[in-house]
Amino acid sequence: MRERAFTFGAHRNLFGVLAEPDPSDVATGAPAVLLANMGVNHRVGANRLWVNLARRLAREGFHSLRFDLSGLGDSLPRPGVHGDLDRAVLDLKDAMDFVQSKGGPATFAVIGLCSGADSAHAVAVADPRVSAVAYIDGFVWRTPGFWLRYWTTRKLEGARWRRYVRRRAARKRGGPKESGEAQEIYQREMPTPEQFRADLKGLLERGTAVLAAYTGGLMDYAYRDQIREMVGDLARHPLFATDYFPRADHLFTDIAEHEKLLGSVSRWMKGRGVQAAVRESA
């Protein structure tokens, strides 16, 4: 594989790294992967998640572009006035144009974590070149199943009691701490549950493969099948896949959980859903 850094985009304000598989490894007809910022972290990703994912996928035959959205990381602001989500969609379209201009694939898998899922979703809905989209700790709302567990089994989980003890001890101890979490800095623009289900239906009917993966670090997500309860019958669609990492925190800080996520995305990219989406868009 090889990696090259570029500035690109209609305004040449975007900065990213294109990873290309060795010509003999290229997965024929496979989409190129787009990885943008998770929150305000730059394109490398928290704990180097996007670099590790891009390199693993390149060894498996997939092109990828990891890049910074306008005004974040090393990318400069985009001229003109736009809402955050509209601007992100324009940036992602610029990224697709750029990959194609470099001789890369004409279809794309957009992978977003946390707020990155919001822009991944928005561009998937807006641009038919997106043949696969992955939301990691993306959209969530509390379902009846969530509340049932919240008031019953959740209170009995040993891990929660152990955390309670650790928190109290840490507060008592004081000492150095990191800066506030990113959610204090930015706000997310999430679709309503009805809007999300309608969008998802449209995407699946269009032939777009969807992965919804969640961690145990997301407060509003309580159990493996909560996503199935959230989206109802759509969960049975052959292009819809889910995964759950109950022991991971939101940013996959533990290196074993980090590896598990890389494996999960890699299996999804090589699996039937993404491959079927590739055939439909071909």
Two structure tokens written together for 58: 């390149």
Residue in 100, 140, 102, 101 with CA at minimum distance from that of residue 118: 140
Angle at which helices 272-281 and 255-270 pack, to 10 degrees? 40
Compare residues 247 and 267 and give the one whose CB is closer to other proteins.
247
Compare residues 18 and 200 and give the one whose CB is closer to other proteins.
18
Compare residues 158 and 236 and give the one whose CB is closer to other proteins.
158
Side chain identity at residue 182, one-letter code: A
What's the min distance (Å) between Cβ of 210 and other proteins? 27
What's the min distance (Å) between Cβ of 157 and other proteins? 8
Q: What whole-number distance in Å separates Cα of residue 99 and Cα of residue 222?
A: 38
What's the min distance (Å) between Cβ of 57 and other proteins? 15
What's the min distance (Å) between Cβ of 282 and other proteins? 32
Compare residues 74 and 205 and give the one whose CB is closer to other proteins.
74
List contacts with other proteins (CB under 8 A): 3-7, 15, 17, 40-44, 46-48, 51-52, 73-74, 76, 159-160, 163, 166-167, 169-171, 173, 175-179, 216-217, 246-249, 251-255, 257-258
Cβ-proximal residues to 99 (8 Å cutoff; 6+ apart), any chain: 18, 32, 34, 63, 65, 105, 108
Compare residues 199 and 254 and give the one whose CB is closer to other proteins.
254
What's the min distance (Å) between Cβ of 219 and other proteins? 10
Cβ-proximal residues to 61 (8 Å cutoff; 6+ apart), any chain: 21, 25, 26, 27, 30
Beta bridge partners of 241: 211
Cβ contact 209:269 at 8 Å: no
